[in-house]
């Protein structure tokens, strides 16, 4: 298929279709990406691992979860219960995503078992198979927003805005995730999963899926046996009523930006945020920086941002500012799927692999 035909027809985001072949042929798969210059000595300091910050944050996280669960149970049946569940829901249904992410990278803690333990817990909370998603996320970092290669493109063009709005209450996301876990628990994996999970890892993925499904089934059984929503308020439910912050911040990562470029400055978004959101999100608002240097732990990202910000597009100044920009682009993408927001680089910055950016322009 000629390039122009590919770019003007609706895109196929599957990992096994023609776009996947095109990405490989065009040199977009497993390619070299742009990196801002950071002296090795400085980068070593930034990459340095320590357990302290993540132990502190995890102790606060687990402590608050227990406190809020206790408060919610104690006040169940009264209006006083609402604030406890509001906080518990976000800590469970949103903060789980950033803990899953950072511990999946293995950067949150220096100690491997601590990363793995929090990764398993957070994977359960976010309802992701810890094996499959480790591989899926590795691919996301290899081929960030490369159509046909990246299994984690959250906003596909043309964007389905109603579906994105429902995602704020976990619909249909949570049911899809659970269905995938149930399928995995039966030993079944789709072609896309088989594309990025090595065969030898599949038995582990089945075992984890079975454990996760069993715990959720127990929670449902307990809810039915006691005829109370309380077990589901504690387990599983927060992925619906507390997931809004995860979606709020997650959509900003790449929404409305370029596809098929080899420069994270053009396909990722850094957004300056309030400290509470940054704590829940473990600083993933510095998303360009994270993709460019995934070895830098979450607690060092503000320092990295200060160091390279002159080589990056200007950061969005708030969540609201990010949404203004992104929603405008998404509304236009509904009519013009080829449209994307071209992030402006500072005058001193060098464009990288400009031919791919020009290629994406053809989709206008």
Shortest spacing between CB 21 and other proteins, in angstroms: 19
How far, in Å, CA of 18 to CA of 26, rounded? Answer: 12
How far, in Å, CA of 181 to CA of 297, rounded? Answer: 29
Backbone φ and ψ for 74, nearest 5 degrees, come out as -65, -30
Exposure of 177 in the CB half-sphere (CA atoms within 13 A): 21
Between 112 and 162, CB nearer to other proteins: 112
Between 189 and 340, CB nearer to other proteins: 189
Shortest spacing between CB 48 and other proteins, in angstroms: 8
Between 162 and 200, CB nearer to other proteins: 200
Q: How far is CA 347 from CA 40, 310, 350, in A?
A: 25, 10, 8
Which residues of this protein are in contact with other proteins, per CB under 8 A?
A: 30, 44, 47-49, 105-107, 110, 112, 134-135, 138, 141-142, 198, 200-201, 293-295
Shortest spacing between CB 33 and other proteins, in angstroms: 9
Shortest spacing between CB 47 and other proteins, in angstroms: 5
Q: How far is CA 261 from CA 19, 34, 102, 305, in A?
A: 14, 10, 24, 21
Shortest spacing between CB 138 and other proteins, in angstroms: 4
Closest residue by Cα to residue 217 from 241, 187, 182: 182
Between 68 and 300, CB nearer to other proteins: 300
How far, in Å, CA of 102 to CA of 179, rounded? Answer: 25
Tokens of 102: 């950072």
How far, in Å, CA of 119 to CA of 105, rounded? Answer: 9
Shortest spacing between CB 143 and other proteins, in angstroms: 10
Between 102 and 173, CB nearer to other proteins: 102
The residues, ordered by sequence, that sit 6+ positions from 264 with a Cβ below 8 Å of its Cβ are: 33, 34, 144, 288, 291, 292
Tokens of 239: 């992925």
Shortest spacing between CB 314 and other proteins, in angstroms: 26
How far, in Å, CA of 252 to CA of 320, rounded? Answer: 10
Shortest spacing between CB 131 and other proteins, in angstroms: 8
Between 138 and 211, CB nearer to other proteins: 138
Between 141 and 332, CB nearer to other proteins: 141
Shortest spacing between CB 107 and other proteins, in angstroms: 7
């Amino acid at each position: 298929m000629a390039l122009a035909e590919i770019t003007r027809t609706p895109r196929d985001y599957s990992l096994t279709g023609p776009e996947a072949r095109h990405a490989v042929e065009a040199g977009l798969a497993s390619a070299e990406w742009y990196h801002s210059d950071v002296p090795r000595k400085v980068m070593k300091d930034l990459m340095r691992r320590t357990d302290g910050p993540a132990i502190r944050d995890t102790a606060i996280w687990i402590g608050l979860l227990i406190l809020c669960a206790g408060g919610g149970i104690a006040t169940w049946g009264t209006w006083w219960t609402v604030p406890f569940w509001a906080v518990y829901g976000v800590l469970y249904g949103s903060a789980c995503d950033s803990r899953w992410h950072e511990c999946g990278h293995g950067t949150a803690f220096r100690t491997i078992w601590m990363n793995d333990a929090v990764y398993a817990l957070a994977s359960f909370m976010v309802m992701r198979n810890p094996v499959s998603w480790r591989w899926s996320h590795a691919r996301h970092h290899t081929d960030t927003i490369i159509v046909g290669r990246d299994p984690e493109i959250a906003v596909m063009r043309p964007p389905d805005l109603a579906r994105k709005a429902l995602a704020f209450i976990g619909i249909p996301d949570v049911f899809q995730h659970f269905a995938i876990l149930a399928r995995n628990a039966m030993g079944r994996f789709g072609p896309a999963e088989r594309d990025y999970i090595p065969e030898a890892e599949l038995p582990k993925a089945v075992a984890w899926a079975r454990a996760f499904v069993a715990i959720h089934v127990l929670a449902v059984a307990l809810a039915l046996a006691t005829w109370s929503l309380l077990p589901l308020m504690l387990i599983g439910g927060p992925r619906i009523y507390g997931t809004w912050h995860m979606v709020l911040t997650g959509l900003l990562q790449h929404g409305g930006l370029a596809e098929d470029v080899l420069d994270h400055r053009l396909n990722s978004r850094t957004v300056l945020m309030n400290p509470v959101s940054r704590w829940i999100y473990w600083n993933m608002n510095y998303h360009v920086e994270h993709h460019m240097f995934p070895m830098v732990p979450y607690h060092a990202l503000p320092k990295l941002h200060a160091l390279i910000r002159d080589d990056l597009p200007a950061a969005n100044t708030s969540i609201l500012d990010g949404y203004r920009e992104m929603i405008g682009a998404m509304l236009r993408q509904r009519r013009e799927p080829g449209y994307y927001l071209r992030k402006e680089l500072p005058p001193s910055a060098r464009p990288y692999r400009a031919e791919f950016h020009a290629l994406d322009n053809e989709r206008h």
